[in-house]
Amino acid sequence: MIANTIDQEIKQAMLAKDQARLRGLRAIKAALLLAKTEKGSSEEITEEAELKILQRLIKQRKESADIYKQQGREDLSTIEEEEIEVISNFMPKQLDRAEVEAVISQIIKDSGANSVKEMGKIMGLANRELAGKADGKLIAEIVKTQLA
C-alpha cells in the first residue's frame, strides 16, 4: 500500500530538507486520510482507489499550473509542477499513445463496437483496463477517433 511508503518518504524528505518533495508527499497523505475517513468508506483503501486519488491530485495540479501560467505566475506554476512530479512517482508507468491505441483497438474488437453510439460502453471498459496507466482525456480522444 502507498500509505506505508508515504510515511517513510515524508521522514526522508524532512531529514533531507526537501520542501518540494515534502509538500507533494503531505498532499498525498492528506488525500488518503480524507478518503479513509469519508462517510461510508471501509477501513482500508484499495490499491485501485489509491490510484484514483493520485490521478485526481495530478489532474488538480495540472489545472492549477495551467491557470497560473495564463496569469503569468510562474512561481506558483513551478510549485504545482514540482508536486506533480512527486505524486507521479507513485503512479504506475504511463503508457505512450501507441500502446493506449493498441489496447483500445483490442477492446473495441473484443466488444464488437462499431459506432460512436457505443462510446460510453467502450470508455467504461477502457478506463477499467487502463486505470492509472493513461490519462482519461487521451483515452476518450483515442476511443472517439477509432469509433468514428
Report pLDDT for 15: 95
Separation of alpha carbons 6 and 24, rounded Å: 10
> What whole-number distance in Å separates Cα of residue 7 and Cα of residue 26?
9
CA–CA gap between residue 40 and residue 17 (Å, rounded) = 37
Rounded Cα–Cα distance for residues 68 and 77 (Å): 5
Exposure pattern of 101-134 as b/e (b: 16+ CB <10 Å)?
bebbeebbeeeebeeeeebeebbebbeeebebbb
Q: Where are the alpha helices (DSSP H) in 42-132?
A: 47-70, 74-88, 97-111, 119-129
Question: Tens digit of pLDDT per residue, the chain (148 long)?
Answer: 787 889 999 999 999 999 999 999 999 999 998 988 886 666 677 887 888 889 899 999 999 999 999 999 999 999 999 999 999 998 888 888 888 888 888 888 888 877 888 888 888 888 888 877 888 888 888 888 888 7
User: CA 21, 22, 25, 30 torsion: positive or negative?
Assistant: negative
In the structure grid, which three cell numbers stand for residue 77, read together?
Answer: 506554476
pTM (2 decimals)?
0.75
Residue type, 16: A
